[in-house]
A and B are shown apart, each in its own frame.
Chain A
Amino acid sequence: MNLNAVLTIYIFEMRRFFRTLTQSLISPVLSTSLYFVVFGAAIGSRIDEVEGVSYGAFIVPGLVMLSVMTQATSNASFGIYFPKFIGTIYELLSAPVNFLEIVAGYVGAAATKALFIVVIILITAFFFVDIQIAHPFAMVAFLILTCVSFALLGFIIGIWAGNFEQLQLIPLLVITPLVFLGGSFYSITMLPPVWQTVTLFNPVVYLISGFRWSFFGTADVGIGVSLFAIALFTGICLAVIWWIFRTGWRIRQ
């Protein structure tokens, strides 16, 4: 195991993050605040409690998940796409590192960045709503798992992308709709029965539901199912990345 290489990639990526800290933080904090103002305060004040929780508090886990997923994905996809774009990837390919080490460095850094942003968003949330966390350890575990799994997805997107437009394509066209339709702003029990069934095919439902359970102790689907879903998703992403490095798809000639 080339631990030095993992740390080198990780620190290099984190330095890039801290160099642009203000712009990295301002945008997610601002957009989350807007969600709270619009959905939590303006519209939320007209909505009764959902599953025994005020609507403002109910949307917190969903909003946090929205940020975690988009941030982890975009950080990781940019992290590996940039060396590909400017050509410095030659160095990764000719260095004595294997796929796990490269992934650990890039995905670790992307997940850490997402985690940073989420902590700031959570602090922002506390300014807007009164919120209790029922299972803090489970919440942290869910956060970390989601950060890692979506950073893995972002890594795949970064390797697949042939230009900057494609880099934005999957987060915009797939992740955002899945998160919005995955119960970020509503409980899936509020949907007509047919749509409840359809929703169950959206993997994000399980993540948001599990995360919400760690806040309020109630969930749309069982916590065990949520954990299984996230483990399965992580496993699939890892398998795809292993295949990418094994075949050299889009990276090695």
Chain B
Amino acid sequence: MSAIVQVKNLRKAYAGGFEALKSVNIDIEEGEILALLGPNGAGKTTLISTICGIAVPTSGSITVGGHDTQMEFRAARNLIGLVPQEINLEPFETVMSTVSFSRGLFGKPRNDAYIEGILKQLSLDDKKHNKIMTLSGGMKRRVLIAKALSHEPRVLFLDEPTAGVDVELRKDMWEVVAGLKASGVTIILTTHYIEEAEAIADRIGVINKGEILLVQDKADLMAQMGQKQLRIDLAEVTPEVPKSLQAYNLFRADDGLSLTYSYDTKGERTGITTLLNDLQKAGLQMKDIQTAQNSLEDIFVGLVKETS
């Protein structure tokens, strides 16, 4: 895979001096779904707006399909479809006319068959002659996607596609995104729902305060999440981890009243039974036992806290 979008040292500062993006570097691979995760005000929308041409970068460079978004804006923008966060649509237009308008704006000749194909893919085909104002919120969001796809882009930016959408519609949207990926479109979506990133992304990027904190394969992140901790509370203080238990790499709490054991849930043997047996042999008396699991949320919250 090669990078279809390359962002290098991108900085965006607003007139008031607020730095929305601080030297962002990110490569987006062709054909992937990248989820950009971050709290409100992290810079997700600014990053997307800057790549798409709505905001002007203060410094740094962005290329899409090898074309600089400033110098070769036509070639770069032709490859991009943007679905904004807000439902911005002309209420009195019909679905067909607003989607055709988008296609024309990108310089493509009229092609009703293609537009109808998109509307069908998005389950909008029976609404094509309806006015936007008569559609539900979920349908309007689909119209925005249809507009973004109308000029056959290779990269699709979805800015919080499921913000304020109920659970059922959210799952619907995930299916739509999976369908788009299958048709070969590269997708970048922003979200602050961790489970959304977990459900549909190939890679996950975490952004906070205008900085990319991490970009990692979802599989690797999930592997980290497979780690669990077993905490054993002891009845009496143990001054140190007994020698017979050193193979378990136990972590002794400062007060000496608990030991923590990390293990992989996906492994064939977790080692819990032998550990408990050995603890007994070592003469340690257990008071309580509890387990905890790393979640994407822990990783995310940890990263965001570090930068706060």
Residues of A near any B CB (own CB < 8 A): 2-5, 7-9, 12, 15, 19, 83, 86-88, 90-97, 248, 252-253
Q: Across chains A and B, which 3 residue pairs bring their CB atoms closest together, nearest first?
A: A8-B104, A87-B88, A253-B55
Task: Report yes or no: B80 in contact with A94, Cβ–Cβ below 8 A.
Answer: yes
The interface residues of chain A lying within 8 Å CB-to-CB of B102 are 91
A12–B147 Cα distance when bound, in Å, is 15
Most chain B beta carbons < 10 A, residue from A3, A15, A86:
A86
Q: Tell me if B82 and A5 are in contact (CB < 8 A).
A: no
Least Cβ distance of A209 to chain B in Å?
Answer: 40
B150 CB to closest chain A CB (Å) equals 10
Q: Which residues of A contact B109 (CB under 8 A)?
A: 4
Q: Give every chain B residue within 8 A of A9 (Cβ-Cβ).
A: 105
Who on chain B is nearest to A93 by CB? B54
Q: Using a CB–CB distance below 8 Å, which chain B residues touch chain A?
A: 14, 46, 49, 52-56, 73-75, 77-78, 80, 82, 84, 86, 88-92, 97, 101-102, 104-109, 147
B90 touches A96 (CB 8 A): no
A88 to B90, alpha carbons, bound, how many Å?
A: 7
Chain A residues within an 8 Å CB radius of B92: 19
Q: What's the least CB distance linking A115 to chain B, in Å?
A: 23
CA distance A83 to B74 in the complex (A): 21
Taking a contact as CB atoms under 8 Å apart, the answer to whether A94 and B82 are in contact is: yes
The answer for the CA separation of A207 and B147 in the assembled complex, in Å, is: 43
Once A90-B82, A94-B82, A253-B14 are accepted as A-B contacts, the answer to whether A5 and B105 lie under 8 Å apart by CB is yes
**Partner pick for B54 among A4, A8, A252, CB 8 A cutoff:** A252
Are the CB atoms of B106 and A88 closer together than 8 Å? Answer: no
Q: How far is the CB of B5 from chain A (nearest CB, A)?
A: 14
Known contacts A93-B54, A94-B80, A252-B56, A87 near B104 by CB under 8 Å: no
How far does the alpha carbon of A95 sit from the alpha carbon of B107 in the complex, in Å?
A: 9
Q: Is the CB of A94 within 8 A of B77?
A: yes
Contact for A248 among B56, B88, B107, CB less than 8 A: B56
Give chain B nearest CB distance to A250 CB in angstroms: 12
**Apart from the given pairs A91-B105, A96-B78, A253-B56, 4 other A-B contacts in the complex at a CB distance below 8 Å:** A4-B107, A8-B104, A88-B89, A253-B55
- On chain B, the residues within 8 Å of A96 by CB distance are 73-75, 77-78, 106-107
Q: Is the CB of B86 within 8 A of A94?
A: no
